[in-house]
Amino acid sequence: MRGRAAVECPASTSIREAARLLSESGAEALALTESGGVAALLTAADLLNWIAIGAREPEQPALTIAPAATVTLPPQTSVSDCILAMAEAHAGAAALTADGSPHSALQSVV
């Protein structure tokens, strides 16, 4: 399976900058990277939830508001298996990485 080209930034990027990157890219999710892997995926819905609960400190790292559970899968994952994995994790996006682990190179975001 191939997803969209990955939009990514370091996990330490501010929420304000992450929101700008998402907005300008037109993507629905942003990969927050750390130590050469995927630390988390931040979606537009995550940003809306953050705003809804009071949106404090937009200069804090985007990782602080990203969901703890991140779905990572190998690129050969079928569409149906990807959807099932996302549904099981209640995730709005999945990261396709070189070997399916969060510690390998990001290929794309679905």
| pLDDT by position in tens, the chain (length 110) | 555 578 999 999 999 999 999 999 998 899 999 988 999 999 999 999 999 998 789 999 999 999 888 999 999 999 999 999 999 999 999 999 999 999 999 999 98
Token pair of 77 as six digits: 């994952």
34-71 as b/e, with b when 16 or more CB fall inside 10 Å? eeebbbbbbbbebbeebeeeeeeeeeebbbebbbeebb
* Chain center to CA of 89: 13
Q: What is the pLDDT of residue 2?
A: 56
22's enclosing H/E stretch is helix 15-25
**Residue of 35, 13, 43 whose CA lies nearest to 106:** 35
